[in-house]
Structure 1
Amino acid sequence: MESVWSESCKFRKREVLSRDIKADVLIIGAGISGILTAYMLKQNGRDVILIDAAEVASGNTKNTTAKITSQHNLIYHKLISEFGEKKARQYAKANELAIKKYKEIIEEREIECDFEPKSSYIYSLNEVNSLKDEIEAANKVGIDAEFVEKVNLPFEIKGAIKFNNQAQFNPLKFLKDISKDLIIYENTRAIEIKQNLVITNKGNITANHIVVATHYPIMNTPGYYFLRMHQERAHVIALENVNDVDGMYIDVDKDGYSFRSYNNLLLLGGVKQRTGENEDGGNYDKLRDVAKELYPKSKEKYHWSAQDCMTIDGIPYIGKYSDETPNIYVATGFNKWGMTSSMVSAMIISDMILENENDFSEIFSPKRFDLSLSINNLTKDIGETAKNFIAQKIYIPSSKIEHIRNGHAGIVEYNGEKVGVYKDNEGKEFIVSTKCSHLGCQLHWNADELTWDCPCHGSRFDYKGRLIGSPATKDLVND
């Protein structure tokens, strides 16, 4: 299962770290956020090294829908209401500047990455009052947005917000160009950070500045990001034989669908859920049913899924990792808007390291924490964590390994222990611990991806127990 981006662009292999080294700036994570930050710092003459636990752009970066937009659902009305107009303007300015910065880099370097100016739409099938409130708020903070009644989708809508001067592109083609002169060590996993020292599985790295751009932060303390975020998954299918929709679209309803065209394909997205809530599978089939209804002549070419870090107040955490670690920085919690948020991260963090003034960083500061604005989300996240942590401790499965059918998985009792078992279509058994190596929550099976996923903080492991994604830094214990 590869995304259309992965199929269209391959990166050259980078060497594995094989010795202890030093750098001015070390960036952990060679996805779009880390690469953009490294690129900006290198452009300013800084000595920068990146490391990645896998390969360049092999994580969530390759699974985006690649919309470069300041339209982040109904965000601006919420920002003005909760944080005030000044901070809402900071958020708007940062994301509008991010769009312009992409265009500037692409034109300056003449990068062939299918960059296209496109309008971005939030549509509604039911009511428009919330849309009109958002337009008023967006206009107030400097966004060019307007109300429209018709869009180029195969169904009637009540109305939509149209954000002008937005864009879309192929992110991997873009990154292949700007990363070619960067020093990157692949298959080099950061295990621990101690002040200016990063311990990896391949050697130690000493750096004056350390940027944690690992999607979900790998350090639990200080910072305590595991108390302030959860992760969600969303699914995409790419369809042939569909007309260009001429724009980027999302439904204001969280259970709705997104649309954007790329070359001769339509990217149809949706079916969102918290990581660890897909034991029965069938999410791609739900999208296929929608495709059959809306585009009966279409043919599926690709399908893939993405994972997003969701903050409790809907704003990314970008800046100093904590007050206790003045030389460590973080970029996380992009809330499904990774393209502009990655560029915003690169601008803010590079300005901090270069000691430049930045007039929009305040709204993104990880130090912010107004419990009154986020109590419902915080309570829900803590409840989910507690439930699955307790389940790992006390839940005793009644099923046995022989109850698992070929091609399926489940949690069973085996040799007196609770384990997760997957049987492939030939009946071969793959047995792993059900205890997440991050903080010990009980893992759940993901039938669509054949993975073990953590519903607490979103770590993921393949059916052999090998780590796929942070915040965990270790594989599962195999039984």
Structure 2
Amino acid sequence: MEKDVNRPMYPEPIWRQDTAFPPFPKLEADVNAEVAVIGAGIVGITTAYLLGKKGHRVVLVDAGSVLNGTTGHTTAKVTIQHGLYYDELIQNVGVEKASKYVNANQDALNWMRKWVNEQKVDCHWKEEDAFLYTSIHENLDKLMKEQAAYEALKISGDFVQKMPHDFDSLGAVRIRKQAQFHPLKYLQHMLDEMKDMDIRIFENTVATQIKEGKKVRVITNEMHTIVSDFVVVATHFPMYWKGLYFARMYAERAYVIACKMKSAYKGGMYVNVEEPRRSIRSSIFNGEEVVFITGENHKTGQGKDTLLHYKELEQFASTHFKMNKYLARWSTQDLVTSDKVPYVGKMTKNTDNIFVATGFHKWGMTNGTAAAHLLTDLILGKENPFEDVVSPTRFHAKVDVKQWLIQNSDVAKHYIKGKAVFPTKKASQLQKDEGAIIDFGGERKGAYKCTNGVTHIVDTTCTHLGCELAWNSGDRTWDCPCHGSRFSYKGQVIEGPADKPLTYEHYIDEMDKPV
């Protein structure tokens, strides 16, 4: 199958291939605002938009390009069906809070649908039924429990024996009238609307410090200051250290392939119960229908060669569809909290004017929109029933303590494992387009040899807390198995919590000579 796949060499989300954003300036002077929003994904942009509609002066900044982070890598299902979730949620937080979670996400879906219709947004919004299915007899009981949770939470779902696409399913729980869309076209329209509001947007502007006070000061890496009454940290992984979020969440990666199929797609959005996880939906690209297949979840920096995950998805596509053209591949990173409920609200119980939104566990379209509405209400001093469900200061003794022990034991294991292994491979032994841990002058280093023969060498110790990084061959990055930081092969930070680049030691040619 490998010869027939014609896999794209580099990962690039399909969303960015048919959407062009005008460049935004870099912050090059001190500015004042009522609200500073850090992070220009769905949470940050929607929050800025909602506040702008209320007449507030907002400054929105992003460390990279607008919408090139997690939102730009999503599969963009707009649904309250969040996998095999609600039975466990009821066990963790009870029926009352679980109902508030459902209602907040349903309200978010309804708001998005209404906004798209009223604004006449061309974002390929399409209503679809969502299916949670299993192909294993032992998991039918899990589906029945999930259906019972739907009934307890008044979710309008039903159990079905057949789906439009079979996938060897033994049964599925269905929720009707969910949706899918093109997230960047949706948010591009929102950005266009913000031009008429008192909102300033800056990209390639890295916020590095927050100084608390009645007036909050956000300091950038170039020592410019944003002074505001409120700050919203919507940077996927919070860039502010307070709250110790790195110890309260873990990072998980998943992989996506986008293909044209020889046979017509029959409709529906799908996710299975068992591992390996598979999520399927269709979309429109350049006027033609394409199918997204997502899955192969694993903790960042852990597990098998990441290129194998793409191969597994390709095999699934070949088995259940007939691939006509392989258009794109990419991966995405999600943050998971101990109870699998996002953290949205005050950064800590003592920071009344600094807010955070993180930990959306793969369901950021509705959760992110619900978070933006909650953050807006908190800044405006309004009550919101979602607040106590997602409060970052909440504590559920049974699940929080258990998950804290599990996750931090895993961190300790990988910290020790990384320090105990010393490589024997040399830079000169690398093939083109190969990365590996190498012995470089008696020191452990990471090296990647480009297709042009140039080798890039970095220090593989994570700049966050010192764990040893692993090579990600599928995306050509260095990934941390402890807290999920990711770096380019030249050492630049791609994902936090790390905020400093790796030491870029050398790059050398075919003869191991410094260039």
TM-score range, shorter chain: over 0.9
Is 1:431 matched with 2:452? no
Amino acid at match of 2:178: Q
The residue number in structure 2 matching 1:86 is 96
Is 1:103 matched with 2:129? no
Q: 1:10 aligns with which of 14, 20, 34?
A: 20
Is 1:268 matched with 2:293? yes
SS at match of 2:297: strand
Is 1:326 matched with 2:347? no
Spell out, residue by residue over 1:94-123, the C-alpha distance to the aligned partner (whole angstroms, 9 max, x if none). Answer: 111010010121122111111111111100
Q: Name whichever of 407-416 and 83-92 sits farther off.
A: 407-416
SS at match of 1:291: helix
Q: 1:197 aligns with which of 208, 217, 223?
A: 217
The residue number in structure 1 matching 2:200 is 183
The residue number in structure 2 matching 1:236 is 256
Amino acid at match of 1:165: K
Amino acid at match of 1:438: H
2:89·2:339 contact (CA, 8 Å) conserved in 1? no
Amino acid at match of 1:157: S
Is 1:258 matched with 2:270? no
Q: 1:381 aligns with which of 407, 428, 448?
A: 407
Following TM superposition, by how much is the alpha carbon of 1:45 offset from its aligned partner in structure 2, in angstroms?
1.2
TM-score (normalizing by structure 2): 0.90
The residue number in structure 2 matching 1:349 is 375
2:485·2:494 contact (CA, 8 Å) conserved in 1? yes
Following TM superposition, by how much is the alpha carbon of 1:405 offset from its aligned partner in structure 2, in angstroms?
3.0
The residue number in structure 1 matching 2:444 is 418
Q: For 1:46-445, what aligned pairs fall within 5 Å after superposition?
A: 46-127=56-137, 128-180=140-192, 181=194, 182-195=199-212, 196-202=216-222, 203-220=224-241, 222-241=242-261, 242-263=263-284, 264-277=289-302, 280=305, 281-391=307-417, 393=419, 395-445=421-471
Residue 164 and residue 282 in structure 1: after superposition, are their counterparts in 2 closer, same or farther (change >3 A)? Answer: same
SS at match of 1:84: helix
Amino acid at match of 2:40: A
Query: Size of the alignment, in residue pairs?
Result: 478
Following TM superposition, by how much is the alpha carbon of 1:44 offset from its aligned partner in structure 2, in angstroms?
1.2
Following TM superposition, by how much is the alpha carbon of 1:336 offset from its aligned partner in structure 2, in angstroms?
0.6
Q: 2:474 aligns with which of 435, 443, 448?
A: 448
TM-score (normalizing by structure 1): 0.96
1:68·1:166 contact (CA, 8 Å) conserved in 2? yes
SS at match of 2:504: coil
Amino acid at match of 1:160: A
Q: Percent identity?
A: 39
Distance 1:268 1:211 in 2: 33
Residue 402 and residue 380 in structure 1: after superposition, are their counterparts in 2 closer, same or farther (change >3 A)? Answer: farther
SS at match of 1:97: helix
Amino acid at match of 1:458: G
Distance 1:359 1:84 in 2: 15
Distance 2:428 2:159 in 1: 58
Spell out, residue by residue over 1:301-330, the C-alpha distance to the aligned partner (whole angstroms, 9 max, x if none). Answer: 111111111111111111111023221111
Amino acid at match of 1:286: E
Residue 375 and residue 7 in structure 1: after superposition, are their counterparts in 2 closer, same or farther (change >3 A)? Answer: same
Is 1:463 matched with 2:463? no
Following TM superposition, by how much is the alpha carbon of 1:391 offset from its aligned partner in structure 2, in angstroms?
4.4
The residue number in structure 1 matching 2:49 is 39
SS at match of 2:33: strand
Distance 2:343 2:443 in 1: 39
Amino acid at match of 2:50: M
Amino acid at match of 2:117: E
2:92·2:339 contact (CA, 8 Å) conserved in 1? no
Distance 1:273 1:412 in 2: 25
Amino acid at match of 2:474: D
Amino acid at match of 2:315: D
Q: For 1:11-30, what aligned pairs fall within 5 Å after superposition?
A: 11-30=21-40
Following TM superposition, by how much is the alpha carbon of 1:454 offset from its aligned partner in structure 2, in angstroms?
1.0
Following TM superposition, by how much is the alpha carbon of 1:378 offset from its aligned partner in structure 2, in angstroms?
2.3
Following TM superposition, by how much is the alpha carbon of 1:173 offset from its aligned partner in structure 2, in angstroms?
0.4
2:218·2:226 contact (CA, 8 Å) conserved in 1? yes
The residue number in structure 1 matching 2:508 is none
Distance 2:498 2:381 in 1: 32
Amino acid at match of 1:170: H
Following TM superposition, by how much is the alpha carbon of 1:402 offset from its aligned partner in structure 2, in angstroms?
3.0
Amino acid at match of 1:99: L
Q: Name whichever of 383-392 and 355-364 sits farther off.
A: 383-392
Spell out, residue by residue over 1:326-361, the C-alpha distance to the aligned partner (whole angstroms, 9 max, x if none). Answer: 211111000010101110110111100011111122
SS at match of 2:116: helix
Is 1:475 matched with 2:501? yes
Following TM superposition, by how much is the alpha carbon of 1:393 offset from its aligned partner in structure 2, in angstroms?
4.8
1:80·1:88 contact (CA, 8 Å) conserved in 2? yes
SS at match of 2:172: strand
Spell out, residue by residue over 1:142-193, the C-alpha distance to the aligned partner (whole angstroms, 9 max, x if none). Answer: 2111111100124331110101221111100010011122421000001111
* Structure 2 segments unaligned to the other structure (5+ residues): 1-10, 506-515
Distance 2:128 2:206 in 1: 38
2:128·2:176 contact (CA, 8 Å) conserved in 1? yes
Following TM superposition, by how much is the alpha carbon of 1:396 offset from its aligned partner in structure 2, in angstroms?
3.2
SS at match of 1:410: strand
CA-based RMSD of the aligned residues comes to 1.6
Distance 2:112 2:355 in 1: 22
1:277·1:446 contact (CA, 8 Å) conserved in 2? no
